[in-house]
Amino acid sequence: MHDDAGTTVRLKAPATRIVALAPHIVEMLYAAGAGGNLVGELAGTQATARAAAAAFRQGLAALRTAHAGKPVVRVFYQIGKAPLTTVGGPQIISDAIRLCGGDNVFGHLRRMSPTVSVEAVLAANPEAIVATGMGDARPDWLHDWDRWTGMTAVRRGNLFHINPDLMQRQTPRILDGTEKLCAALDVARSRRPQP
């Protein structure tokens, strides 16, 4: 195996003591079947890791197929209130929005998590607002948008919440978060005025 610097790493036996420096890495290691050792390939759990990766790819392909060609929903994805923070184009959450048939209204911004103004959100006039907070609880600040009744998302009741642990950690659970995001955008589509 090669590390991030391209150096070949070989061990005489599977690693038994591992240090992980971030929570999402720990979760990835557990998903790969190496939680007891806290490493991926060097722990000797390649079969479990490959099966988990294959299941992830299969789930991703199924979501992509299910949502291909759906009408586009303009989305504001809010990750913070003070300052008002969103996701830019290079962020993996923007990829999830696109996969679901959405268009990130701030996808043109090149920063990963840019700050924006309320006025910029109002000018973008998203059809759906998706917010995160702490865990499964819907953040109180999502209701701050209710006063902007002229915004399409508010007028149609398209204010959604997704647990940040599902979307904002780069682990296999992002597939679960993406599924919830796609379901929310389907709700937004169903609330469009009928001709």
Question: Tens of pLDDT along 81-128?
Answer: 989 999 999 999 999 999 999 999 999 999 989 999 999 999 999 999
Tell me the fold of 71-190.
Rossmann fold (3.40.50)
> Helices 46-67 and 92-99: crossing angle, nearest 10°?
50
- As given in the structure block, the two tokens for residue 7 are 């150096």
In this prediction, residue 17 carries a pLDDT of 66
Q: Which two tokens stand for residue 88?
A: 């830019």
Name the average pLDDT for the chain. Answer: 87
Tell me what pLDDT residue 47 has.
79
Burial of 134 (0-12, 13-18, 19+ CB in 10 A): exposed
Residues 6+ apart with CB under 8 A from 155: 149
Other beta carbons within 10 angstroms of residue 136's beta carbon come to: 11
Supply the pLDDT for residue 177: 94
Residue corresponding to tokens 């971030």: 22
- Are 25 and 39 in contact by the 8 Å Cβ rule? The answer is no
pLDDT, residue 15, reads 65
DSSP 38-99: T-SGGGT-HHHHHHHHHHHHHHHHHHHHHHTTPPPEEEEEE-BTTTTB---TTSHHHHHHHH
Span 63-74, mean pLDDT?
Answer: 96
Domains of the chain by residue range: 1-68, 71-190
pLDDT of residue 12: 82
| pLDDT, mean of residues 53-75 | 94
Nearest to 101 by CA among 57, 127, 68: 68
**pTM over 0.85, yes/no:** no
pLDDT of residue 62: 95
Instruction: Report the C-alpha gap between 84 and 118 in whole angstroms.
Output: 8
